[in-house]
Chains A and B, each alone.
Chain A
Amino acid sequence: MSSDVMAIQSADAAGRSWTEVLHEWVTTVDHKRLGVLYILYALFFLVIGGIEATIIRIQLMRPHNDFVSPQVFNRMFTMHGTTMIFFVAMPILFGFANYLVPLMIGARDMAFPRLNAFSFWLTAFGGFLLYFSFLGGSGLYGAGNAPDVGWWAYAPLASRAFSPGHSSDYWTIALLASGFGSIATAINIIATIISMRCPGMTLGRMPLFAWLNLVMSGMVLLAISPLSAAQIMLLVDRYLGGHFFDTQAGGSATLWMHFFWIFGHPEVYVLIIPCFAFASEIIPVFSRKPIFGYPVMVGATVCIAFVSMSVWAHHMFTIGMNSYANSFFAITTMAVGVPTGIKIFNWLGTMWGGKIQFKTPMLFCIGFLFQFLIAGLTGIMLSAAPFNWQLSGSYFVVAHFHYVIVGGILFALFGAFYYWYPKITGRMLSETLGKLHFWLFLIGFHLTFDLMHVPGVLGMPRRIYTYEPGRGWDTLNYLVTIGAFVQSIATLVFVANLIVSYFKGKKAGNDPWDAWTLEWSVSSPPPPAYNFASIPTVASRRPLWDLKHPEDPDSRYE
């Protein structure tokens, strides 16, 4: 069946001009095509954000370096942070959710296909607007060019007086546009999961991937909206002469901090929960065991979502809150580690006693497990307010959150790429290149981010343009930069693998991993537009297991 569908597709493609194909992709409302557009768009920005990171690292490679000017350096770290969070991590995770959620729950599309296309183009527009600031940021003033106020855009730095020109406005409007896109996507994912499940797919039988994306979408509704509200206030300040964050007129810079971090901390979980979802699908398949503690996994995720809504001010211990606030946010921050720990134990429980296959997706997931654990431990360290007073705003913090984002999120994402690429393209990614990618990236990652903790403890502040020699930071920074280059090379291997395997890869067939969820029951790539010839009916959490083992189906035990 898979080869038939592919033959039909290629015959179609041959008969049409590239403008027709382009038109089809631009006007598509198919969840699979939009998913692919999200992912490609995010990969494009991943390369750009990676180049910015490399520029930052070259500048910091040795003391008194002047590879770029201080002004350019400020733009680089601002654009790097903004790009990676809003235009790489968010769209790539939405891309996977878009592509996989309807397939996994046995639906033919999302609940609102046109809204889906609208959200993608809003997000895309936001990204292009942000980067247009490199050209248009100067405006008529001849000052500023690309936002340089840091990705928090703290007041009063983002006010007209300190950020003239339009660069901060591009930042604000880009985030507002992509924020509305994200909210619309979240609405779509929730409506799809609540209202489009195939017969028999009760909430208790839904794949964890769908469950976790449901929770993530709920968090998006509550986390991105405050950011949008705060951005509207910032625009009122900058364009209409408002005083929300204008300390000269009684406004409060602290209020912006609160509003930003009410978004900012749940955002971390918005990004990591879909990665938990990847791990929860990949680890069981390569351990040849069903997931350990399914209901507890769901419960722990919901618990994380709740608790993570009340931890935001641990980013603000150093502004001088009273001791009650400090204690509250320290305790909630430590508490969020409990459900997260439960999840880690459950993944280990899944692997325990399984016949583990060390394929590339599994390797990345194991890397994710270990690194996310360490990232969580430094998180617990930083949640203790007195310790935080010492290290807030240092490279220790930079190392901590990169450990989460690169060591956790990016590793799980790479795993997801290797796992679902065969479904999306119909061809396997090369295992050889995959293993090379994994080991190179692992080495580069640890070289960069393990060592980065140390200059932080030794007092190196984040966002610093350059530093004096002889403070014990020199060699470490040099090695950190080398690690960044190793990671860049590994990423190039990955991109090469994506391209080469698309043309030369081994044919995947419907179900290359002998997996259990519904997306593997259809051809690879799935039939365009309708997914399932007839809507499936499921009786357990692993419908394909039931199909392959009629003598001993899961439905007998659930």
Chain B
Amino acid sequence: MSTIATPLPETTATWKLPYRGKVGMACLIVAESAIFTIFVVAYLFYVGKSFSGPTPREVLETPIFYTVCLLSSSLTIHLAGKALERGRRAAFLLLWLLTIALGAFFLYGTGQEWHRFIYERGLTISTNLFGTTYYSLVGLHAFHVTAGLTLLAIVLLFGLAGRVGPEHSARVEVLSLYWHFVDAVWIVVFTVVYVLGR
């Protein structure tokens, strides 16, 4: 009784639906984009509305080097995925490690910038509107980088234990989708904070 006995052999044979992991990650990216949009809107809305200094022009220095680090990690993770697909595990691990290193570099850059702002320029989240919006937006992105790095590190540990093979390629692909998103968001944050917001 629980089967519908309408024969449709030709459809059954060719019935293929998208991988659920990819669909799920795409949805997460849509939701996250909405969250970032709200923070970006708040940032742009409050540009130049602070009652007191320091202003963005006084303190911001464009972090070119760290941006290049983060963006090139998109390339390395892509190559890592390709290497895994072809079964070249050593190349995969090396590229994966490189991705983590580049991401960690970027995070270090953000930390250094924050340290400079707080201890040399006296800018904290409660100083003025610039501080509130800057630390929230950049901090939200840094949080996503941290989450991404944690996930990447877990895959690395499994990889070092020899548990990641070509059969996991689709799952690794899902994670690299997230990492590409984190990188893409940085392009927006970079443009908003360091280019438009000055």
Contact = CB atoms under 8 A, between A and B. Distances in A.
B94 interface: no
B3 A111 contact: no
B136 A521 contact: no
A196 B24 CA distance: 12
B38 interface: yes
A531 B8 CA distance: 21
A547 B4 contact: yes
A228 interface: yes
A510 B1 contact: yes
Contact of A225 (B38, B126, B136): B38
Contact of A242 (B1, B27, B39, B136): B136
A195 B2 contact: no
A553 interface: yes
Interface string A229-247: 1101100110011111000
A546 interface: yes
B7 A194 contact: no
B128 A249 contact: yes
Interface residues of B, number: 41
Nearest to A194: B23
A229 B43 CA distance: 13
Contact of A195 (B5, B17, B35): B17
Contacts of B20: 111-112, 191-192, 194-196
A217 B23 CA distance: 13
Interface string B27-51: 1101110110111001001100111
Interface residues of A, number: 63
Contacts of B42: 233, 244, 255, 259
B65 interface: no
Interface centre among A232, A243, A510 (most CB of B within 10 A): A243
B90 interface: no
B18 to A, nearest CB: 5
A82 to B, nearest CB: 20
Interface centre among A228, A236, A250 (most CB of B within 10 A): A250
Given A188-B24, A197-B17, A225-B31, A547 B2 contact: no
Contacts of A217: 27
A217 to B, nearest CB: 8
Contact of B34 (A115, A187, A221, A510): A221
B128 A538 contact: no
Contact of A226 (B38, B51, B126, B129): B38
Q: Which 4 A-B pairs have the closest CB atoms?
A: A241-B126, A225-B34, A229-B38, A195-B20
6 contacts: A200-B12, A221-B34, A242-B126, A510-B1, A534-B3, A555-B6
Given A188-B24, A250-B46, 5 more contacts: A191-B23, A232-B136, A244-B132, A522-B2, A532-B3
